[in-house]
């Protein structure tokens, strides 16, 4: 069975993608900072027939990242690494003039440094995954969850957007340096998530799409298999119609 690591999998898009992969027969290594919600998600994934290793922890911790990769190795290897865990750097979001520098450092640590650290830890398994997954088809893959704030100048989104822009560039370089892998960085679009609610608590998010609506776009990348590059979920979904 193919194996995926998904960070930030106790809720939102990470949990929705994990559920979809479990339904397709994937085995999963999942993490989140809160143990309770993570174990609840893991129970649901196991009920779908997946082997699941749930490891609570912070992706900014190198020891935790090593544990995630070791768990994947224990399941037989690694076909897909999903860097989904994210922090805003300020809750609620603020203009750059008021943005805490410590908050910006935290956003860069979780959104940029930690994903690279996890990629570095996982590269031997990803390089060895060529042809192992019937979904990815060609090689191991890295999926980074980006944002439209990485390319658009939105008031108060400067710190978070800067971190996601750095993640995009980091992913683009990884794709060049590791041509044997598939590397995708994806803007999922607006979603009804706790992260968005924390970013703009005064905005009514009830009309925003649920994370589950984005999952078919991510599965299209796996099924293609799509070339390395930046993708927008809405465009992937439009292309499927």
Catalytic residues: 160
Handedness of CA 128, 133, 134, 138 (dihedral sign): negative
Tokens describing residue 162? 């800067």
At a CB cut-off of 8 Å and minimum separation 6, what does 191 contact?
12, 13, 208, 209, 210, 211, 213, 214
Burial classification of residue 143, based on how many CB atoms lie within 10 Å of its CB (0-12 exposed, 13-18 middle, 19 or more buried)? buried
b/e code 37-52 from CB counts within 10 Å (16+ = b): ebeebbeebeebebbb
Tokens describing residue 56? 């609570």
Tokens describing residue 16? 């929705």
């Amino acid at each position: 069975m193919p194996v995926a690591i998904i960070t930030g999998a106790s809720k939102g898009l990470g949990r929705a993608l994990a559920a979809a992969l479990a339904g397709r027969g994937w085995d999963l290594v999942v993490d989140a900072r809160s143990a309770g919600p993570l174990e609840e998600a893991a129970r649901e994934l196991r009920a779908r027939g997946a082997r699941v290793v749930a490891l609570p922890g912070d992706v900014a911790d190198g020891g935790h990242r090593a544990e995630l990769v070791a768990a994947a190795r224990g399941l037989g290897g690694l076909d897909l690494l999903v860097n989904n865990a994210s922090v805003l750097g300020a809750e609620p979001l603020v203009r750059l003039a008021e943005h805490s520098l410590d908050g910006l450092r935290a956003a860069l640590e979780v959104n940029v440094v930690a994903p690279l650290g996890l990629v570095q830890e996982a590269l031997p398994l990803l390089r060895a995954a060529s042809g192992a997954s019937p979904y990815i088809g060609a090689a191991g893959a890295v999926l980074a969850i980006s944002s439209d704030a990485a390319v658009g100048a939105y008031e108060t989104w400067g710190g978070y957007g800067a971190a996601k822009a750095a993640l995009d560039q980091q992913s683009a370089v990884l794709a060049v340096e590791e041509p044997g892998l598939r590397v995708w960085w994806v803007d999922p679009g607006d979603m009804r998530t706790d992260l968005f609610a924390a970013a703009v608590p005064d905005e009514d998010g009830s009309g925003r799409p649920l994370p589950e609506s984005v999952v078919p776009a991510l599965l299209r990348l796996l099924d293609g298999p799509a070339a390395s590059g930046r993708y927008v979920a809405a465009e992937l979904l439009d292309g499927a119609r």
